[in-house]
A and B are shown apart, each in its own frame.
Chain A
């Protein structure tokens, strides 16, 4: 790989087929810059699978594609084999690698949840980055267990998604792993601090990163950062971390912006504003955010 390209772009080279304005790629960019090239990225089926298409890879480190359900199990095999090679003197400390699981929400919230749960049970020393774009993005954005209530997707085109977004942070934290955090690329200082913190720990470390998705959510790629910031400022995406048995909010929006500021920029919520604002449903969505923060305050 061309050194000058990498020094400019961290450990993730440009020129991938990922959509313009992808919030997941921004987060991955920041993560790889911190972790460096001593990594094996273990991937599950999703948008990011298309980062490494034979014979090209944007990664300065290693890559292993597994399947949709089992990336944490792949990380287990990689970690164990590296440990075995270390113990046999076939690998030096400098040659050792960090196993990094990279999946979307489709895998993390659903098909891969069993494998993730078990990897945490086993105390696997790995880092998990979930880029959560709130739908099965790579297949055209059908609803997933991560889709927020009322969002239009390719399989909820009329009234929007009838379910509610699953609380994966709470599920992960209930396993009592070394570290869990939510983050977003639009808050780079918060994300950087969390990646560094995770990198300094051992055991299961999980990062759940909201990934604004211009293609699936229906907004101009130029708005990715703005929408990401609004997700935090409106309070719909709480930034928090779980460490040593405690959940701490890392950025509390004291004066939360109205949720409609976030919703109205996205095509997936346009039906809530046409022909006139659906005050009842918008009110319910706002109430859910208010309830969350009320409970945090208590």
Chain B
């Protein structure tokens, strides 16, 4: 199969194009903007039969997306970071509306301080919204995940919106060889949008997203969202198996890399997991029994898969590219919950936080993480959570502070 070089953003746009979407409510934000620009060019040029409308905010963008979805068309939209948070109110609404649309989030660290490069605090802020979440590590996975996401979202047992996440810069602006699936084969895999009889039409009045009074009706609808999200685990497995049959690429809910005999396992999501893979290769070459586990599906959380993959290991290090201040890494917490109560106590679990705002994680740091984990396993005591930051980085910040203070002091003299 021919492969072409595509950025992660272009791959996301190709996913939308192949999915034959009808409608794109849009709003620009770095590092996502290339996606909507690409779609706009295709739509203007007649290569896609869709409508793109730029709203005035992500809040409105998501509202229009949900409203169009429940009016009966296939909707695609994209955002990043502050935009995702600006629209957060509507994320919860759209899940409650059971709007089966796909939202790309191109991860970027959250303000303050404002920055451009990625971490996962943005998408994890949407963790409890009712959107399902797929996390990508390569550009190929981005285009394929958009197709998987529509099948999952529109399945009658699910009917929930899905976020497909890719990391800003490291994936959004990185060109990788991508095999584009054949449009006819995609059309076979992903049938035309089914409204499931839920849409607005004259002569058949319906009300959607109505108020409820009291906890009983409220609980019922909230539980429905939860149960649908839980059912999505089995549906995802079917959809991924079908995709693999047709296209030859396997996207299990959790990827296990060189885990067969691994005693120590790293757990990561997103594109930085490819750095971890390279580190695993290096450590394997040095004779260490180390592997990597990468959840693709984060909602529903693949607890059973993770228990099966990790329950019998000696040690597991979770590397969180996010930070819940006052608690630590979010995935660490989630994984600890999934592994809690195993008959033999389960693996020793260690927590590391790194890669915030696009900060690199070097091969040497992966090696050190594994060393800390090995030590902890030997001692049988989980180490305190670690925030990755080097002495050299601290010196860098000290130099910036010296400049900031120096110029302030000088200004002070000038005005005295």
Residues of A participating in the B interface, judged by any CB pair closer than 8 Å: 1, 37-38, 40, 42, 49-50, 52-55, 57, 59-67, 69-70, 72-78, 80-85, 88, 90-91, 94-97, 114-115, 117-118, 121-122
Residue B200 is within 8 A (CB to CB) of chain A in the complex: yes
- Sorted nearest first, the 9 A-B pairs with minimum C-beta distance are A77-B67, A73-B60, A81-B71, A118-B56, A77-B64, A77-B68, A81-B68, A63-B207, A73-B63
B373 interface residue per 8 A CB criterion = no
CA distance A163 to B271 in the complex (A): 53
Question: Do B53 and A54 touch (CB < 8 A)?
Answer: no
Q: Give the segment of B166-174, B208-216, B234-242 that binds chain A.
A: B208-216
In the complex the two chains form, is A77's CB within 8 Å of B202's CB? no
Name the residue of chain B whose CB is nearest to the CB of A77: B67
Q: B320 within 8 Å of A by Cβ?
A: no
Q: What number of B residues sit within 8 Å (CB to CB) of A?
A: 41
B206 interface residue, CB < 8 Å from A? yes
Q: Are B72 and A85 in contact (CB under 8 A)?
A: yes
Taking a contact as CB atoms under 8 Å apart, the answer to whether B64 and A80 are in contact is yes
Tell me whether B72 and A90 are in contact (CB under 8 A). Answer: yes
Interface of B is mostly: mixed
Any A CB within 8 A of the CB of B25: yes
Q: Which residue of B lies closest to A17 (CB)?
A: B213
Q: Which residues of A contact B210 (CB under 8 A)?
A: 52-55, 57, 63, 65
Q: Which DSSP category, helix, strand, loop or mixed, fits chain A's interface?
A: mixed
A54-B211, A62-B206, A77-B67 given; A114·B201 CB < 8 A: no
- Whether A37 pairs with B205 at a CB distance below 8 angstroms is yes
Interfacial residues, chain B to chain A (CB-CB below 8 A):
22-23, 25, 51, 53, 55-57, 59-61, 63-73, 89-90, 93, 199-213, 217
A38 near B71 with CB under 8 A, answer no
* Between-chain CB contacts (< 8 Å), 19 pairs: A52-B207, A63-B206, A63-B208, A64-B200, A64-B207, A65-B211, A67-B59, A67-B93, A73-B55, A75-B67, A76-B64, A78-B68, A82-B200, A84-B22, A84-B73, A95-B203, A115-B56, A115-B60, A118-B60
- Provide the bound-state CA to CA distance between A121 and B64, in Å: 15
Q: Knowing that A74-B64, A115-B63 touch, tell me 6 more A-B residue pairs with CB under 8 angstroms.
A: A66-B67, A73-B63, A73-B64, A77-B65, A84-B73, A91-B201
A42 neighbours in B (Cβ, 8 Å) = 67
A16–chain B nearest beta-carbon distance, Å: 12
Taking a contact as CB atoms closer than 8 A, the residue among B55, B66, B71, B207 that contacts A85 in the complex is B71
In the bound complex, do residue A62 and residue B205 qualify as a contact, i.e. CB atoms below 8 Å apart?
A: yes
Within the assembled complex, what's the spacing in Å between the Cα atoms of A17 and B89? 26
CB neighbours of A94 from chain B (8 A): 202-203
B211 nearest in chain A by CB position? A53
Is the beta-carbon distance between A77 and B207 smaller than 8 angstroms?
Answer: no
A25 to chain B, nearest CB (A): 16
How far does the Cβ of A245 sit from chain B's closest Cβ, in whole Å?
Answer: 24
Within the complex, what minimum Cβ distance (angstroms) separates B120 from chain A?
Answer: 26
How far apart are B90's CB and chain A's nearest CB, in angstroms?
A: 6
CB distance from A134 to the nearest CB of B (A): 23
- Complex Cα gap A177–B212 (Å): 35
Contacts of B65 in A (CB 8 A): 77
Q: Which residues does chain A contribute within 8 Å of B67, judged by CB atoms?
A: 42, 64, 66, 73-78, 81
* Contacting pair A62 B200 (CB below 8 A): yes
Contacts of B200 in A (CB 8 A): 40, 62, 64, 78, 82, 97
Query: Are B64 and A60 interface neighbours, CB within 8 A?
Result: no
Inter-chain CA distance A84–B206, complex, in Å, is: 19
Could you tell me the distance in whole angstroms from the C-beta of A62 to the nearest C-beta in chain B? 5
Closest to A85 in B: B72
